[in-house]
Amino acid sequence: MADNGHHILVVDDELSMRELLEFMLKQEGYQVSLAENGRNAIAMLEKRRYDLLLCDIKLGDIPGLDVLRASKKKQPETTVIMISAYATTETAVEAMNEGAYDYVPKPFDNEELKQTIAKALDLKTLEHEKEIIEDELKKNLHFGLIVGNSPAMLHIYKMIRQVAPTRTNILITGESGTGKELIATAIHQESDRRDQPFVVINCGGIPETLMESELFGHKKGSFTGATSDKKGLFQIADKGTVFLDEIGELSVPIQVKLLRAIQEKTFKAVGGNKDISVDIRIIAATNKQLEKEVIAGNFREDLFYRLNVIEVKLPPLRERKGDLRTLAQHFLDKYSREMNKKITKISSYAIDLLNKYDFPGNIRELENLMERSVALSTTNILLPDSLALSIHKRRWIEGIKDRRFDLDEVSQGVALDSILEEIERAYLLKALEVANGNKNNAAELLGISFRSLRYRLDKLGNN
């Protein structure tokens, strides 16, 4: 196989293991150098750079962790994977605390090891590209709490810069939990109104009977309970920006009054007869498809076109998976600080697990998941078993219980592989649940080896 450009240093005191790894890795197109003990490995690290170090934890002369530490001191950019016949959670945590990308238990599955190495080197390339992008972001893009540098988000950032200086009304669309308020805040902060009020109005959280008063204010005695004059949120936002969140929840009568206020930039307080003029910019947001609401008669067409001068459409998290690692680390850091825990890193297998989940609740669901995971974690590395994905796992288990298998379906044609995969996944997840996430115990419950359990979980996307 052709040289793929990556150079790997293999460190193991067993000749047979070195020869096996050399043959296997060269078959994959890697350049391979071999070290028979830890001291030789450290000497080789001083002479040239390697893309990846594959090192046994137990060596004949010095501990493999000493080689790991030396590597991180001499070549911090080199990715390190540790191998151990005595792998435990404590071993993994210690190795990752010292900067290892991952660890692989012996005896290992050759295909699994090759996949782990390929993922590590792919991530190394991606992180280099990410550093370039982040440098560019730091120079040109400063949007407060928005996190992400995927192509989809870079397009959003570009739109923010384009529309922020204008007075144009903007409609932000996207599923629940995608961060619409953060985008609205960024637009306001990038505009010439940044020093003026930014008023958020949750259209779905204010009762219809109070909405007009909240928006436009009221005069004393205009209704029961109106004991004094009150300014409305539109008047409070004068010279600034009004963010109308969940705009699709407004009733049609309120939509009529809102349309006039937007068109004329004037309104009357409830019980008042004097026009109040304001200078405000409108940013609205919705998780509904307003075009369909217009067709159904639930949303006024003229108001829709007034609001939707420019649409900023936010992608769901499943369409910006390139941001997931960054977002997960952001929330990990946030809740580690809040809970006074020293959890500094997410393991590669935990990231893989997150990547295989669609997150129907988007960023909000990811944030809640990371908060729960930090609270439950007992180590300073977030491992797959620490991820609070129990609800997601129960959906699979409950789904299989509801499934009815009918052998007569065979006459119509069935997808046997899918059926077997569904059954296998349910049993694996149930075993993990019964074993409280302990994979060794789960493997025993299923009558399979730990290596087989790990391989099956990886195959089915449930690391």
CA–CA separation, 120 and 82 (whole Å): 12
- Of 3.30.470.10, 3.40.50.300, 2.60.40.60, 3.40.30.120, the CATH number of 151-313 is 3.40.50.300
- The domain spans of the chain are 7-131, 151-313, 337-460
Q: What is the structure's pLDDT at 394?
A: 46
The per-residue pLDDT for range 42-58, each reduced to its tens digit, is 999 999 999 999 999 88
| CB 9, CB 45: distance < 8 Å | yes
Q: What is the structure's pLDDT at 450?
A: 77
Strands 345-346 and 310-313, by their bridges, are: unpaired
Q: What is the structure's pLDDT at 88?
A: 61
pTM here is 0.59
Q: What is the structure's pLDDT at 431?
A: 82
Please give the backbone phi and psi of residue 208, each rounded to the nearest 5 degrees, phi first.
-60, -35
Q: Which of 88, 86, 83 is nearest to 100 (CA)?
A: 83
Q: Is 460 exposed, middle or buried (0-12, 13-18, 19+ CB in 10 A)?
A: middle
Q: What is the structure's pLDDT at 378?
A: 81
Which parts of the chain sit beneath pLDDT 70? Answer: 1-4, 86-89, 91-92, 126-145, 385, 388-412, 414, 418, 459-463
Query: Identical fold at 7-131 and 151-313?
Result: yes
| CB 114, CB 108: distance < 8 Å | no
Just give the CATH number of 7-131.
Answer: 3.40.50.2300
The per-residue pLDDT for range 290-346, each reduced to its tens digit, is 999 999 999 999 999 999 999 999 999 999 888 898 899 999 999 999 999 988 888
CA–CA separation, 377 and 381 (whole Å): 8
